[in-house]
Amino acid sequence: MRVLGLLLFAVAAHAADKPNIILIYSDDHGWADLGVQGSDQDIRTPNLDAMARDGVRFTRGYVTAPQCVPSRAGVLTGRYQQRFGVEDNNKGPLPLAELTIAERLKTAGYVTGQVGKWHLDLVGGKKGEKALRVSKEYMPHAQGFDEYFRGEMRQFYASHDLQGKPFADAPHVVADTRFRVVVQTEAALSFLDRRTAKPEQPFFLYLAWYAPHVPLESPEPWFSKTPAELPKERRQALAMIAAMDEGLGQLRAKLKAIGQDQNTLIFFIGDNGAPLGKNWDGSLNTPLIGQKGMLTEGGIRTPFVAAWPGHLPAGQVYDKPVISLDVAATAVALAGLPADPVLDGTDLTPFLSGQNQGAPHERLFWRWGSQAAVQEYPWKLIRLGEREQLLFDISQPDGENVKKNMLTAQPEIAARLTKALKEWSETLTPPGLPTTFDAHHEGLFAEHEVIPPLPDAPKTKGTPAGSIQGWLCRNGTIAAKDGALLITADPKAAKNAKPFLAKTGLALNGPVTAVIKVDAKVATNASLSWRTKEQPDFLPANLVRFTLPAGASEQSITLPVDGQAIHCRFSLGDQTDGLRLRSIELRPAKGAANLADFSR
């Protein structure tokens, strides 16, 4: 009954006049990892680059959250997901009352398909359980998808097998142990093959590749083609991205083979920025500031490309801000459906065709956890709970830096954006701006120098928000006790996320020698990494691995810093239990050493 009005409109629709639409979402795919961005020499994406040459590359393409569940809820509904309560990964599932792109396009005569990661069907565990579980009630078939092959790794819930035969007991569980991108690509190609039986019917395909998100893999033939001197994580990410890129080439070739290449609009978007540090998936956000989990550019600005040969100008580079919400509004308009005021996105076709010379959006908004932000390009206002409010000019990639906070210098702009952000937040569920303090988020912002270094924590207490002698801890807590720094892993940290220490505000001329005095219960792997002023993110090459032996030891590690290191990380491996760190000294080639002596 909830779509009856739209169904009545669809009676008179002529499906054959409507373009096919494919929405592709990659996972934890950083802005740098698209070849035509020109950000990193190691990335190879020939098919994505060709798609950009055939269509439009959005240099300022955004998503609605720095995390996968809310980002996917936003793109599939075309609405800010905070309006219906899906604000973070623990706030699902996607309510059945919300209309997806698939449900809207079905009323215009489209056949709809979903492949890959869904993640919008996670519900709270049974009473007494904390873990989320998958619910068939919220799977793709309940959200408007006629056909589906839902799954991330080795198990999929499917309406059809890969040869196109429908399952009588759908959703049917399919096991496939091959590399996930290969399986998901085959499922998408199978969906396209089935369209040849009724070529006059338009289709909508949502393909969500589960890459380069962890767990990382080393798929062949792509992995062996990556530079051997790079860290393994980087090589794995490059291989997984190359697999997606090859899959895109196969999809575009299939569209041409079935005569639908000129009648299909394709969007390719990353769901959020790459995670860095111990959670690194090998992808990069360079030169943007920040990472997954932050409302800085590195967390919400991603690869964003669209192509529709013969309809969108080829080779266009579009610099005005757009957002993933625009996919739904564009699809609705192209399908001939009436504009729906509940959609928060904008139909992009008039802007890309040159009919409208203005900007698609006056402002873009975000609210996630303890963070909130509003962008009125080139200005961006960010709030961290009630503790921090920041105003940046983001016309340059290094704009989100504590030294460039314009809050005091531009009070009128700050006041205007604060008012707009508050007004928008009152339309959400629940209403209002975040007021809670999140130590993890504040630590991220301090580590990336978006806010000042955090004040020292009391030496008798460990806290992830504080720092001791300038070193702060991520994915754990620290405490100075009995002449040593003690590190405790955070049991609530993301899976496989290990504790590490970070220090900002350095000025160390390379090469740098790190001298570490430590007592360890057992031998453990460790690493030191750094970045310079010219490097907004930690680069794979700027990392030295070593082993901390069991017992008391003094380690001397040479860091081949080229230039001046301003930010260092000390990753502690798997065995922090019982590890007692007595001191860390960073000795530059010239100038004074930076010493943190925890034995005093």
Mean pLDDT of 411-435: 96
Tell me the C-alpha distance between 573 and 210, whole Å. 26
Q: Based on the fold, state whether residues 16 and 75 are members of the same structural domain.
A: yes
pLDDT of 442 strictly over 70: yes
Instruction: Give me the number of domains the chain comprises.
Output: 3
> Which candidate, 123, 65, 66, places its Cα nearest to that of 93?
123
DSSP structural state of residue 337:
P
Q: Which two tokens stand for residue 28?
A: 């934890």
| 235-244, 346-355, 516-525, 533-542: segment of lowest average pLDDT | 533-542
Tell me the C-alpha distance between 549 and 552, whole Å. 8
pLDDT of 465 strictly over 70: no
Q: Based on the fold, state whether residues 222 and 314 are members of the same structural domain.
A: yes
Domain with 257 in it: what CATH number?
3.40.720.10
Q: Is 451 helix (H, G, I), strand (E, B) or coil?
A: coil
pLDDT of 126 strictly over 70: no
- pLDDT at position 495, please? 64
* Residue-number span of the structural domain to which 483 is assigned: 461-597
Q: Which position has the higher pLDDT, 500 or 172?
A: 172
pLDDT of 112 strictly over 70: yes
Q: Which two tokens stand for residue 225?
A: 């083609």
Q: Based on the fold, state whether residues 45 and 155 are members of the same structural domain.
A: yes
Q: Based on the fold, state whether residues 475 and 543 are members of the same structural domain.
A: yes
Helices 46-54 and 232-257: crossing angle, nearest 10°? Answer: 50
Helices H / strands E in the chain, number of each = 11, 31
Q: Which residue has the tokens 């040479």?
A: 558
Domain boundary among 308, 333, 355: 355
pLDDT band at 147 (very low <50, low <70, confident <90, very high): very high
Do the beta carbons of residue 445 and residue 451 sit within 8 Å? yes
Tell me the C-alpha distance between 365 and 109, whole Å. 33
Q: Based on the fold, state whether residues 400 and 326 are members of the same structural domain.
A: no
Q: Based on the fold, state whether residues 487 and 524 are members of the same structural domain.
A: yes
Q: Which two tokens stand for residue 22?
A: 């494919």
C-alpha distances (whole Å) from 28 to each of 39, 63, 76 are 17, 12, 17
The CA-based angle 360-366-368, given to 5 degrees, is 155
pLDDT in tens, 334-350: 999 999 999 999 999 99
Mean pLDDT of 248-273: 98
pLDDT of 5 strictly over 80: no
- pLDDT at position 294, please? 97
Domain with 439 in it: what CATH number?
3.30.1120.10
Which amino acid is it at 94?
L
| 45-54, 110-119, 267-276, 565-574: segment of lowest average pLDDT | 565-574
Tell me the C-alpha distance between 107 and 12, whole Å. 10
Q: Based on the fold, state whether residues 111 and 237 are members of the same structural domain.
A: yes
Tell me the C-alpha distance between 93 and 206, whole Å. 18
pLDDT band at 8 (very low <50, low <70, confident <90, very high): very low
pLDDT band at 1 (very low <50, low <70, confident <90, very high): very low
Q: Based on the fold, state whether residues 320 and 398 are members of the same structural domain.
A: no
Residues in the chain: 600
Q: Which residue has the tokens 């020109």?
A: 38
Domain boundary among 319, 339, 355: 355
- pLDDT at position 494, please? 64
- pLDDT at position 129, please? 53
Q: Which two tokens stand for residue 460?
A: 């008798």
Q: How close are the terminal C-alpha atoms of the chain, in Å?
A: 71
> Which candidate, 168, 124, 171, places its Cα nearest to that of 145?
171
Tell me the C-alpha distance between 121 and 48, whole Å. 30
- pLDDT at position 125, please? 58
Q: Based on the fold, state whether residues 337 and 381 are members of the same structural domain.
A: no
Do the beta carbons of residue 481 and residue 489 sit within 8 Å? no
Residues 6+ apart with CB under 8 A from 332: 78, 101, 104, 105, 339, 340, 343, 347
Domain boundary among 390, 423, 452: 452
Say if strands 476-481 and 484-489 run parallel, antiparallel, or are unpaired. antiparallel
Percent residues over pLDDT 90 in the chain: 71
Within 346-470, where are the H helices? 349-352, 411-425, 439-447
Tell me the C-alpha distance between 252 and 53, whole Å. 14
Q: Based on the fold, state whether residues 101 and 152 are members of the same structural domain.
A: yes
Mean of the per-residue pLDDT values of the chain: 90
- pLDDT at position 453, please? 82
Tell me the C-alpha distance between 92 and 306, whole Å. 28
pLDDT band at 248 (very low <50, low <70, confident <90, very high): very high
- pLDDT at position 235, please? 96
Q: Based on the fold, state whether residues 167 and 23 are members of the same structural domain.
A: yes
3-state secondary structure 330-359: HHHHHCCCCCCCCCCCCCCHHHHCCCCCCC
Domain with 554 in it: what CATH number?
2.60.120.260
Residue 508's φ and ψ, nearest 5 degrees, are: -110, 115
- pLDDT at position 236, please? 97
Do the beta carbons of residue 491 and residue 477 sit within 8 Å? no
Q: Based on the fold, state whether residues 426 and 470 are members of the same structural domain.
A: no
Say if strands 133-134 and 147-150 run parallel, antiparallel, or are unpaired. unpaired
Q: Which two tokens stand for residue 561?
A: 């810093």
- pLDDT at position 427, please? 97
pLDDT of 454 strictly over 80: no
The distance of Cα 424 from the centroid of its chain, to the nearest Å, equals 23
pLDDT of 139 strictly over 60: yes
pLDDT band at 473 (very low <50, low <70, confident <90, very high): confident
Mean pLDDT of 505-519: 90
Q: Is the peptide bond before 140 cis (omega within 30 degrees of 0)?
A: no
- pLDDT at position 461, please? 34
- pLDDT at position 3, please? 41
Do the beta carbons of residue 239 and residue 226 sit within 8 Å? yes
pLDDT of 9 strictly over 50: no
pLDDT of 249 strictly over 60: yes
Tell me the C-alpha distance between 412 and 424, whole Å. 18
| 19-23, 475-479, 572-576: segment of lowest average pLDDT | 572-576
Mean pLDDT of 160-174: 97
Q: Is 372 helix (H, G, I), strand (E, B) or coil?
A: strand
Tell me the C-alpha distance between 566 and 509, whole Å. 9
pLDDT of 42 strictly over 80: yes
pLDDT in tens, 188-236: 999 999 999 999 999 999 999 999 999 999 999 999 999 999 999 999 9
